[in-house]
Structure 1
Amino acid sequence: MEAAEGGAPIGVAGVRRAAAGRLNLYYRFAAVTHGSGLGREAARAVVAHATEWFPEHVVEAVIRPDHWPSVRTAEAVGLVAVGERQFDGDPPEAGASWVFELPRIARVDEIAETSRESLLDLWQRVTDAGGSVGFLPGAPRERIAEALAGHEAEMTAGHAFAVSLTDPDGALTGWGWWTQVPNPLLAQGRWLYRFMIDPARQGRHLGATLLAGMIGAARRDGAELLELGYRSGSGLGDFYARVGFVEVGRIPGAIRVGPGDFRDDVTMARRVDGSPLVYDGRH
């Protein structure tokens, strides 16, 4: 629920159960707010919440034909057109409704042979677009494949699992790993590695969707503390801060990305339950 300056309600957004395993995205705002972007922002928050807490459900939006503002909002929050559906009670002359679906989140404990090439393709595209995923643009595919083999070994040993983001047609759109340090003193923590979204799909809120799904997956895996690292200059700090990560360390100039181009190695963390990080103050 949004509230105007005077406290009057101006809209509502959420999900409601539709058919089995489906959540219907809805949002209604007062006419005075139309064009302000509130519908898009509220829908993004709802989608992220549903992805984190209800990963077994498909989030969908059902839109009347030619209602273009709703179409633009659905696309802005990452939903993909999948077809049409005629609902009981709809007047025949109105035509079938357009159906949009959010890409699916899934935990991955073993990478299928048929998925490995798609993952390498995604990793290569993100790398060549300048993404902070372990390599500089132009890195040979063989080196990326070696890094993938290392992650697979961690998965086999039970020290890591992945989370995938796939379009309704099965195309891989995003990926990330959670790794766990074998030391039992650090068993509460998970470290985020190789977080990536297809560059062709940037700007559609899919990064936030994948991250929300990953946080939910870490919670279900028993994690209490989440950590990640990134190189400065990538703009990732603001992105992670929006979902509760805070900077807890920075090594100036630790990463060299080119001649004379040194970046800070930044560490961020958040508690899975969202409670504040509190230093114990001991030396």
Structure 2
Amino acid sequence: MPFETTTPRLLLTRPTEQDRAFHTAVHSDPRLYAHAPHVLGTPATNAEFFDAIIAHWATEAFGYWVARDRDSGMPVGWVGVQRRDGHLNLYYRFVTEAQGRRLAREAARAAVAMATEWHPDAVVRALVKDHNEPSVRTAEAAGLVRTGEQLVLADDLPDEAPSSVFEAPQLGRVEVLDDALRTELLDLWCRVNDAGGSVGFLPGAPLERVAEVLATHEKQMAAGDAVAGALREPDGRLVGWAWWVRVPNPLLHHGRWLYRVMVDPARQRRGLGRLLMAGMHRVAREDGVELLQLGVRSGSGASAFYAQCGYTEVGRIPGAIRVAPGDDRDDVTMARRVDGRPPVAHGGG
């Protein structure tokens, strides 16, 4: 797992001893504890907390990051996940001056995506007081959903309400579809079509036509040339789907093509697309894949999303996709590596 990552506005880095003073300043600021003033840090608790962060990094090689402004390099908050009670605890706390800019949700999304890609053995959780509405909104914007479970924390006051448990969706590998899963997927696919999603059909495509294309993908899966990823919320609801497909040419078997990336239209703007892609990267890496490719049509907004997932445009055919008479779009190819090597072009021409 990388020790650092970036978001559009932040650099998330592994903390060092030089960050202790910033950690103390954040966790001693009463403005950041308006919803729970009794847990405001003291010199002793702050030192213990920071030491635990450093120790977790030393033993697990991941943990809570320092969030820095990408332009100025100044630290603005803390975010990340740590192992706790069999789960990965999502944590975020940003300085007062950074609030109102949605930096916490930007950082939390990155943290949950990183955990989804690199730590499928544990569920990401956030424990949030219901009256702390900004924290609830941040957890939900990072893709987490209420489980209905509530927990009493060790530092809760005797008359304090318990914390609600929020959990992230998880992506599972799929190699064979049964009747129930096929029905679920077709329902999701058709709803994505009708919402205007770029998954191979225009809105209003009949179920029968979608089922025919699904059957083609199932043949690829049966032949060992495709594997799917199913993103499910804690209650089991299917909210995302995609395929990795291996092309017939053996010279290209170290790579895969991404097809039919779809997220439940009723759950847009919650970072689920990022979690779906993170899980799909993990599935590809488990199969020894080195290079990933995908195609998007211009004007859909998808290129910017995939760029945030680490993809770079490597080719474009102007006007290759005819959405409707008089509406031609470019066929854009994007790629990224997942083997840790940089994308370097061959110099031989």
Alignment TM-score, normalising by the size of structure 1: 0.94
SS in 1 for 2:159: helix
- Percentage of identical aligned residues: 60
Are 1:128 and 1:138, in contact at CA under 8 Å, matched by a contact in 2?
A: yes
2:320 counterpart of 1:233: no
* Unpaired segments ≥5 residues, structure 1: none
Where does structure 1 differ by over 4 angstroms across 4 or more consecutive aligned residues? 4-8
Are 2:142 and 2:271, in contact at CA under 8 Å, matched by a contact in 1?
A: yes
| Partners of 2:324 and 2:232 in 1: CA distance | 33
Are 1:2 and 1:9, in contact at CA under 8 Å, matched by a contact in 2?
A: yes
Counterparts of residues 1-283 of structure 1 (less than 5 Å): 1-3=66-68, 9-20=75-86, 22-87=87-152, 89=154, 90-273=156-339, 275-283=341-349
Are 2:151 and 2:165, in contact at CA under 8 Å, matched by a contact in 1?
A: no
Q: Which has the higher contact order (CA 8 A, sep 6+)?
A: 1
Are 2:153 and 2:163, in contact at CA under 8 Å, matched by a contact in 1?
A: no
Task: Report how far residue 65 of structure 1 moved.
Answer: 3.2
Q: 1:223 to 1:85 in 2, by over 3 A?
A: same
SS in 2 for 1:277: coil
SS in 2 for 1:280: coil
Are 1:59 and 1:102, in contact at CA under 8 Å, matched by a contact in 2?
A: yes
Are 1:109 and 1:161, in contact at CA under 8 Å, matched by a contact in 2?
A: yes
Are 1:244 and 1:274, in contact at CA under 8 Å, matched by a contact in 2?
A: no
| Partners of 1:86 and 1:228 in 2: CA distance | 42
Task: Report how far residue 262 of structure 1 moved.
Answer: 1.2
Q: 1:6 to 1:225 in 2, by over 3 A?
A: closer
Are 2:151 and 2:162, in contact at CA under 8 Å, matched by a contact in 1?
A: yes
Matched residue pairs, number? Answer: 282
* Unpaired segments ≥5 residues, structure 2: 1-65
CA offset digits 1:31-62 (Å, max 9, x no partner): 33222322111111101110110122111110
RMSD of aligned alpha carbons: 1.6
Are 2:241 and 2:263, in contact at CA under 8 Å, matched by a contact in 1?
A: yes
The structure with the larger Rg is 2
Task: Report how far residue 117 of structure 1 moved.
Answer: 0.8
Q: Which amino acid aligns with 2:170?
A: R
